[in-house]
Structures are given as C-alpha cells and as structure tokens.
C-alpha cells in the first residue's frame, strides 16, 4: 500500500520563511551524520507562508536543490507542501514530493451514520482488551467507544483520502511522501483514538508515512513545551505502540511514524522523545519550521549596526500590528502583552540585550518568552520590507548561518536523534 518513496527513520522539517538558510540547515544534518545519525531534511513551507512572503513552491524547491548541490549531500531530501488542503494543493504538485495533508478542520464534522456502523462492523479487533506492543497494560475498548471515535474522525480521514488520491493522480502514486495532520485542533487524540484513526486511514488506502496527532500539553510556536513531560512521555510511547499495532494489523507502510508539529524548541520533551525512540526502535519526524526565521533575526541583531537596526524595526512593526499578526496563530501562541517591551525601549537596546531577549535560553534572566512568540509570527513585517530584508540576509550570511546551524544541531537534532 505504501508509496515507493520511503521516508527514513529520522527526519526533520526545516522550515525556511525566506529560502535563504538551506545550506546552514543542511550543515546541521551533515553534522548529525558525522555523529552517527542519519537525519533527513524536509524543507517545509505552507500555502499561508508562501502567500505572506509572496513566494511560490518552486522557490522552496530551488533553495533546497541549491543547498544539496553546494554541500554535496548524497542522501534523500524532500520539499513539503505543508498543511495543504484540496483547495491549495495544486500549486505544489510540480515542486513538492512530501505532502502534509491537513484535515484538522473536519474533525468532529458529522459522519455518515451508515459509514460509522460499517466501520465498527469491519473492525471487531478494536473492541475488548487490546494489547499494544511494548505496553504493559491492556487498553479496554468497547463498541460504543469505537462508534464515538469513528463518528468524530471518519469525515476527516475520508477527506485525507480524497486529497491523497488527487495528488496520486497528478503526480503518480509512487512519487511522494504522505503525512496526515490532525494537530491543529482543540483536544489531543488519545492512543486509542490514534489507533482507530489509523484503521480508518488503512480503509481509505492512504499510503501514509507520518501522522501528526495533537499531543497533551501546549505546543506554542518557537517556545518550550507547556505541560507535564511525564504524561507526554507515556502518551508518546503509547502512540508509537499504536502505530506498531496498526502497521502489523492493517498493512500500513512499515516506515509509518509520528510527526511532532510545532516541534521547535520543545526542550522539555526532547529527552522523553529520544528515550521512547530508543525503547521502541522507532522513528520520528520533527517539524522545526519557525525557529530558523528567529535565528535569522538573532544573527542580524548579533551583527550589530544595520542588522541590529533592522531587527529593532521589525519588532516595532510586529508590536504595532500584534493583533493582526497573532490572530491566525491564536491556538499556538500565549503572549502576555504586559511583558512586551515598548518599541521605544527596544530602540535603545544593545546587540547583546536584543539577542538575550530573543534567543531561547530559559536560564538567561533577559529571555522574553512573549517577545519571542510575537517575533515568531511577525515575519510578515520582514516580508513587507522585500529586498531590503533579504539583501541584508546575504550581506550578513556568515553570522546568521552560524546561528541557524548551531541552533538546529545543538538544540534540536542532538537531543532528539543522538542523545546528550
């Protein structure tokens, strides 16, 4: 059932808002290989981001190809049509070979009662005491639970099947990687819900290789995990076990693995993720989209002079338009307006002060969680600057690239895929 392309065990989504940091990002994957871990880069950019920046999917492909050629990368790499739906997917067909099918909006939409009944009858194996591989205790599932979960998710899974088949018809069934995303919703999916969802995915014959559920806790953009790491660890391990069961039971691709969205800077759960991967010999796809854009800003500020001035100007613009910028990301940010410094105060900051406030170092007294989140969603301000911003990225490439590579390898790849 699976796609001919097979995603490697470890992969990392390296978003790049302005398509300038491909080489710096890829160097982090080269460093991973030098340290014994094959971590495959997937350059991801959503339709929303392309619209804001004014870019096209072909530009993301060109940047990835250039990085691969320059560094002589011989391993696989992909370009992700991130968070696409049936209305937005067509513009990504030529440039992308990885599709994150986002059906979170359809979760809870009414499902055909006949389809729900047929699903429950088709899957009697889901009821009773269910033993998942590597989990000490059984999960008790009754028929009512199966019907309830199916009613909540079948419409979303069906839509994922529609989009998958549409891409397969246009690209060829064996020429892309498929991810199904259900993370941008209000309530986390339990491991039992994930298993029932995967049974429905198998019924739709979707060649799925990663699935992005919503986990327990807050996964805010660009800042640390908010929640109980121990509870997350148990849930993450049980999700891996549910996937292993579904692969064996339903013939889903053996490369199927969890995808962690808004995964950048979630330092509190990197060790639990690493430990679970080792325990189950499992893979993971970690999405780190916005952290690169913030490292660009840090690099500009660190360079001082014109770079620092532009970084301050971007903060001022983001502060002035914070309601507009934050609205699309309301479910994945928690900003305390009282903790946002006035632009006039920031205008007086030194390079060190700006960097200390923005760089994600929770041990630093000057680190400002709210400022970081605001700038994370404030890339639209830089986009409106056009060439003025991107030209400075080229001028100050050395300082910026150092920050991008070090952040991606030391703070993300190393703790998740290698272990500290």
Instruction: Give the tens place of pLDDT for each residue, 272-324.
Output: 999 999 999 999 999 998 899 999 999 999 999 999 999 999 999 999 999 99
- Give yes or no: residues 284 and 364 share one domain: no
- Give yes or no: residues 321 and 286 share one domain: no
Count up the domains in the chain and report the number.
Answer: 2
Instruction: Give the tens place of pLDDT for each residue, 30-79.
Output: 999 999 999 999 999 999 999 999 999 999 999 999 999 999 999 999 99
- Give yes or no: residues 20 and 163 share one domain: yes
Residue 5 belongs to a domain: no
Nearest to 170 by CA among 101, 103, 92: 92
Q: Which residues of 370-387 are buried (b: 16+ CB within 10 A; e: fewer)?
A: bbbbbbbbbbbbbbeeee
- Give yes or no: residues 30 and 138 share one domain: yes
Instruction: Give the tens place of pLDDT for each residue, 130-149.
Output: 999 999 999 999 999 999 99
For range 327-337, the mean pLDDT: 92
- Give yes or no: residues 373 and 234 share one domain: no
- Give the confidence band of 189 by pLDDT, cuts at 50, 70, 90: very high
Residue 281 belongs to a domain: yes
- Give yes or no: residues 306 and 277 share one domain: no
What's the confidence (pLDDT) of residue 289? 82
- Give the confidence band of 2 by pLDDT, cuts at 50, 70, 90: very low
- Give yes or no: residues 108 and 159 share one domain: yes
CATH code, 265: 3.20.20.70
- Give yes or no: residues 219 and 78 share one domain: yes
- Give the confidence band of 185 by pLDDT, cuts at 50, 70, 90: confident
Residue 28 belongs to a domain: yes
Residue 403 belongs to a domain: no
- Give yes or no: residues 260 and 329 share one domain: no
Instruction: Tell me which residue range forms the domain holding 344.
Output: 300-396
Residue 401 belongs to a domain: no
What's the confidence (pLDDT) of residue 331? 84
User: Does the pLDDT at position 3 exceed 60?
Assistant: no
The separation between CA 66 and the C-alpha centre of its own chain, rounded to angstroms, equals: 23
* Confidence (pTM): 0.96
- Give yes or no: residues 127 and 267 share one domain: yes
Nearest to 408 by CA among 274, 290, 275, 269: 290
Write out the two tokens for 321. Answer: 């338009």
Residue 235 belongs to a domain: yes
- Give yes or no: residues 96 and 194 share one domain: yes
- Give yes or no: residues 230 and 372 share one domain: no
């Amino acid at each position: 059932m699976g796609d001919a392309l097979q995603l490697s065990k470890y992969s990392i989504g390296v978003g790049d808002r302005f398509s300038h940091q491909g080489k710096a990002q890829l160097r982090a994957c080269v460093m991973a290989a030098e340290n014994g871990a094959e971590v495959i880069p997937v350059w991801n950019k959503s339709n929303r981001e392309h619209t804001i920046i004014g870019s096209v999917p072909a530009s993301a492909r060109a940047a990835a190809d250039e990085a691969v050629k320059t560094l002589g990368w011989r391993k696989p790499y992909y370009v992700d049509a991130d968070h696409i739906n049936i209305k937005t997917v067509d513009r990504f067909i030529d440039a992308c070979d990885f599709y994150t099918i986002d059906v979170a909006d359809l979760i809870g939409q009414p499902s055909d009662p006949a389809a729900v009944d047929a699903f429950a009858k088709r899957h009697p194996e889901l009821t009773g005491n269910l033993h998942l591989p590597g989990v000490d205790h059984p999960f008790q599932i009754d028929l009512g639970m199966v019907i309830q979960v199916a009613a909540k998710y079948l419409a979303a899974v069906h839509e994922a099947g529609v989009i998958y088949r549409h891409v397969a018809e246009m690209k060829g069934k064996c020429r892309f990687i498929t991810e199904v995303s259900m993370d941008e919703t209000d309530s986390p999916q339990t491991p039992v819900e994930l298993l029932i969802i995967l049974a429905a995915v198998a019924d739709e014959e979707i060649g799925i290789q990663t699935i992005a559920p919503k986990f327990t806790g807050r996964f805010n953009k660009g800042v640390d995990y908010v929640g109980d790491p121990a509870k997350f660890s148990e849930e993450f391990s049980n999700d891996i076990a549910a996937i292993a069961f579904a692969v064996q039971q339903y013939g889903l691709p053996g490369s199927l693995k969890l995808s962690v969205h808004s995964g950048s800077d979630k330092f509190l759960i990197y060790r639990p993720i690493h430990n679970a991967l080792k325990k189950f010999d499992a893979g993971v796809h970690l999405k780190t989209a916005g952290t690169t854009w913030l490292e660009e800003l840090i690099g500009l500020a660190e360079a001082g002079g014109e770079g620092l001035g532009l970084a301050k100007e971007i903060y001022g613009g983001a502060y002035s338009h914070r309601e507009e910028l934050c609205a699309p990301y309301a479910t994945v940010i928690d900003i305390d307006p009282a903790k946002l410094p006035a632009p006039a105060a920031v205008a007086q900051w030194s390079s060190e002060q700006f960097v200390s406030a923005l760089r994600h170092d929770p041990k630093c007294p000057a680190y400002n969680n709210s400022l970081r989140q605001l700038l994370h969603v404030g890339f639209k301000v830089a986009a409106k600057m056009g060439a003025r911003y991107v030209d400075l990225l080229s001028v100050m490439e050395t300082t910026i690239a150092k920050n991008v590579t070090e952040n991606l390898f030391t703070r993300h790849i190393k703790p998740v895929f290698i272990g500290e």
